[in-house]
Amino acid sequence: MSARVLVGVKRVIDYAVKIRVKPDHTGVVTDGVKHSMNPFCEIAVEEAVKLKEKKLVKEVVAVSCGPQQVQETIRTALAMGADRGIHVEVSGKDYETLGPLQVSKILAALAKKEQADLIILGKQAIDDDCNQTGQMTAALLDWPQGTFASEVNIEADKLKVVREVDGGLETIKIKLPAVVTADLRLNTPRYATLPNIMKAKKKKIANVKPADLGVDVSSRLEVLKVDEPPQRQGGVKVETVNDLVRKLKEAGRI
Amino acid sequence: MFPACRYSLQARKCIRALKVVQAEHVAPQVYSTRCSSSTVPRITTHYTVYPRDKDPRWEGVEMERFADEADVVIVGGGPAGLSAAIRLKQLANQHEKELRVCVVEKASQIGAHTLSGACLEATALNELIPDWKERGAPLNTPVTEDKFSILTEKYRIPVPILPGLPMNNHGNYLVRLGNFVRWLGEQAEELGVELYPGYAAAEVLFHEDGSVKGIATNDVGIGKDGSPKDVFERGMELHAKVTLFGEGCHGHLAKQLYKQFNLRENCEPQTYAIGLKELWVIDEKKWRPGRAEHSVGWPLNRNTYGGSFLYHLNEGEPLVALGFVVGLDYTNPYLSPFREFQRWKHHPSLMSTLEGGNRIAYGARALNEGGFQSIPKLTFPGGMLIGCSPHTHTHNKSAFFTFLLTIVYSALFSFQSFVSFHSPAPICKELTVASQRAPSCLSRQFLDRISFGVGLDSAQLKPAKDCAPIEYPKPDGKISFDLLSSVALSGTNHEHDQPPHLTLKDDSVPVAQNLAVYDGPEQRFCPAGVYEYVPLETGDGMRLQINAQNCVHCKTCDIKDPSQNINWVVPEGSGGPAYNGM
């Protein structure tokens, strides 16, 4: 099969790090904070590499949007088995306001440029929890989508995707080209071992600007304020229903 | 005494029990419980204790490792390792020679496992990178004010610092060492050093003649029970003409090298302290950038070595770095360095600074305390030890002999100095690394402790029955905090499905000895809550629970365990704390 897979990877603050709001309340502190590849993106990369190992796809291209540091994330994808990388340079204010809509436009443009047959993304990023990029990318390309995938199989020119939905598991068959977003149980990502990191240094990462792809990354959203969630107050136990009604009235709830 | 290893496990248990009875006169009921012990739940599964070549689950698993060659391999991307790498590349460029220098670092990014006070003397940096200021080295806070005090429970007695004494900090910089190390990493990369954060050196490799051949990085994908997972992959071997070990205080490979090459045969045993540190954003009105404060005294008693530091940093926000150091030669097993630290913050002189402030970081690390006499032999065929790994601050020597009670908390790093050493590499005939130590010495109650060679820290604990438990105040959640919320702030984490890296030589010793005789001191000296004695599911007796995921890689347990049963080995790379500019 001569299929080419595009995998999107996002560099996010590591899940074990305690987040701190910036003193000016415009966002969270990121300087010097430990970052790593979004866990769902790791699963996406693993799936793409597995497909290549099964000889169902020919080439895996890892893509990331952001400043210089995202190159480390692309390198990790390369070390896991991706063939080459594309770094879409977005930095400064543009990067702070970069959201799913702009990324989808970038991925759609890249998919056309690279003639990709399949796009695999993580289902959501752990920093914004949007769960929108995969769906928007499919819509922009007018491609079918298999989201929350826990199993992916290529059968001839169709994709059989088992989706994890609220009611259980749903199996769908979609035509290629398509967009798939990876859920937790799709696979267990392999480690990026040192020999592979060393080999990855020789793999190519192309630099591209959004303007080169004809994409405008300006945001239609303005973040007014970022705050920590309010401190959780202790609850109060009440003895009788009358007490409960009284307390609710006192709190102005009823 | 007769070599216990030649005897069966049962016999060894009885011999050990007998030793304890003879030495400690343990009450009869404790003795009998130990001898009639039911099966001890399995704690340790690491292959360093249970080799894989004898393990049926590992039959047929491909164990060959990919190997690569470099000229110099450096273990540890801290100040020593990175300075050595930078200097080597500078020399290579000067002599127009090719030199492949590789640095392996267990933290996921350079600086993430670095923790220090810190007060940096720039002399060495001036020699290493003279244009550090233009290159943006994060030395932003020159010391403008130096304060030293002796604390009592309610009062603060100021002690004047005279110029010329080693504790005088004027001309030095207060730094966030993690940020400095990160900057050093950038300088190293610019010079062409290959940096590999996220990969831990797990094994030293030897040539047939016994000289050091290089290192092997950690295997990945071993399950908690010690069996191979689907994603199992062997580590990689890095062979080098010279291997430098800069693991910091009490490195786990350095421990092996001491034994292998008898590096400690002509020196005193090393003694250590544990340093705990927090970063606070305080009320701007209380902020005095450039002020360095140190104290001794309360809450420690006359017999416990230690003291505090509080540095006002000048980095934009009103940030202070504060911390507490406790000598690990303390004798009371009920002492908790973490709780002494939290308690110290409630001193009236501290409260005024911290009130209204916010804690944003926490961490801990062991540090070297022994002086010149504790420095081992540093070189061996194929490599050498650098930085804190072998030893510590030369200023300590003079501090031993001063009779003023003073404290200057060390910057925890030192550059190794040597004129030349024998290396098989024709390229590096002469290596010079700028050497300097930041002034340091922790307060020593000099009048009480004139003796050297007190012995190993682990041997200093008295049995619990001979000591009084210490009543620590409850944390108030504003100035002082509980252990678990502190550990969360360190950002530490490990892949949970891997063998615990706090390995025990004998799983039965913790309950039989540590708990029985010393009331489980590891519950108290671990600054991360790794060790917990919990009741057995069957109801009778206790077992040790090791929460390996919490570990902040401080190495205190390996140092202070009275049974010397705990052997800290390196977990899968990338695990551990996520310090940011500590």
CATH number at B463 reads 3.30.70.20
Residues B416 and B476 in one domain: no
Mutual angle of helices B79-94 and B177-190, in 10-degree steps: 20
Residue among B179, B189, B236 with most chain A CBs within 10 A, to mutate: B236
Selection from A154, A152, A137, A150 nearest residue A183 by Cα = A150
Question: Which pLDDT tens digit goes with each residue over A201-250?
Answer: 999 999 999 999 999 999 999 999 999 998 888 888 889 999 999 999 99
Distance from CA of B543 to the nearest CA of A (A): 28
Catalytic (active site) residue B227? no
CB contact under 8 A, B580 and A34: yes
Which residues in B lie closer than 8 A to residue A16 (C-beta atoms)? 491-493, 578
Same domain flag for B400 and B500: no
The model's confidence at residue B280, banded by pLDDT at 50, 70 and 90, is very high
Strands B67-75 and B101-105: parallel
| Full residue range of the structural domain in which residue A175 is found | 4-251
Token pair in block for residue A83: 């063939």
Residue B474 burial (CB count, 10 A): 8
Active site residue B141: no
Q: How far apart are CA B78 and CA B214, in angstroms?
A: 19
Question: What is the tens place of the pLDDT at every residue in A37-92?
Answer: 999 999 999 999 999 999 999 999 999 999 999 999 999 999 999 999 999 999 99
Q: Please determine, for residue B410, whether its predicted confidence score (pLDDT) is greater than 60.
A: no
B231:A14 CB<8 A: no
Cβ distance B233 to A193 less than 8 Å, yes or no, reads yes
Region of residue A234 (left: phi > 0; alpha: psi -120 to 50; beta: else): beta
pLDDT band per the 50, 70, 90 thresholds, residue B449: very low
Q: Are B430 and B483 within one domain? A: no
Contact A32 B236 (CB under 8 A): no
Burial profile A36-58: b = 16 or more Cβ within 10 angstroms, e = fewer:
bbbbbbbbbbbbbbbbbeeeebe
Q: Tell me how far apart the alpha carbons of residues B31 and B14 are, in angstroms, rounded to a whole number.
A: 10
pLDDT (0 to 100) of residue A197:
94
- How many separate domains does chain A show? 1
**Strand partners for B173:** B120, B142
Is the peptide bond prior to B473 cis by the omega test (within 30 degrees of 0)?
A: no
* B474 and B434 both lie in a single domain: no
- Domain around B250: 67-139+175-267+376-442
Exposed e or buried b per residue across B523-538, where buried means at least 16 C-beta atoms within 10 angstroms of its C-beta: bbbbbbbbbbbeeeee
Q: Which of residues 3-32 of A touch B (CB under 8 A)?
A: 14-18, 20, 23, 31-32
Q: Which of B525, B456, B562, B558 is nearest to B248 (CA)?
A: B558
Domain CATH for B126: 3.50.50.60
ipTM exceeding 0.90, yes/no: no
Task: Specify whether B492 is catalytic.
Answer: no
* Pairing of the two strands B145-151 and B291-297: parallel
Verify that B558 and B425 share a domain, yes or no. no
CB contact at 8 A, A82 and A45:
yes
Closest CA of chain A from B360, distance in Å: 8
Task: Express each pLDDT in A5-44 by its tens digit.
Answer: 999 999 999 999 999 999 899 999 999 999 999 999 999 9
| Total count of domains within chain B | 2
Distance from CA of A141 to the nearest CA of B (A): 35
Pick the catalytic residue from B551, B556, B563, B574. Answer: B551
Question: Which residues in chain A are closer than 8 Å to B317, comparing Cβ atoms?
Answer: 23
Give B186-244 as a DSSP string.
HHHHHTT-EEEET--EEEEEE-TTS-EEEEEEPPEEE-TTS-EEEEEE---EEEEEEEE
Best A126, A193, A231 residue to mutate vs chain B (most B CBs within 10 Å): A193
Per-residue pLDDT tens digits for B204-246: 999 999 999 999 999 999 999 999 999 999 999 999 999 999 9
Q: Do A193 and B220 touch (CB under 8 A)?
A: yes
Give rounded-to-5 percent helix, strand, coil for chain A: 30, 25, 45
pLDDT confidence of residue A156: 84
The H or E element containing residue B379 is: strand B379-380
CB-closest option in B217, B493, B580 to A33: B580
Do B91 and B134 belong to one domain? yes
**Do residue B463 and residue B546 come from a single domain?**
yes
- Length of chain A as a residue count: 254
Q: What angle do CA A92, A96, A99 make, to 5 degrees?
A: 130
Give the gap in angstroms from C-alpha B571 to the nearest C-alpha of chain A. Answer: 14
Please, are residues B128 and B434 in contact by the beta-carbon 8 Å criterion?
Answer: yes
List of chain A residues whose C-beta atoms are within 8 Å of the C-beta of residue B178: 32
Q: Do A23 and B317 touch (CB under 8 A)?
A: yes
* H or E element at residue B112: none
Residues B383 and B499 occupy one common structural domain: no
Task: Indicate whether B436 pLDDT > 90.
Answer: no
Spatial strand order in the sheet of A4-8: A168-175, A158-165, A145-155, A178-182, A118-122, A4-8, A59-66, A84-89, A205-208
Which residue has 């810190």 as its token pair? Answer: B118
In terms of domains, do B543 and B464 share one?
yes
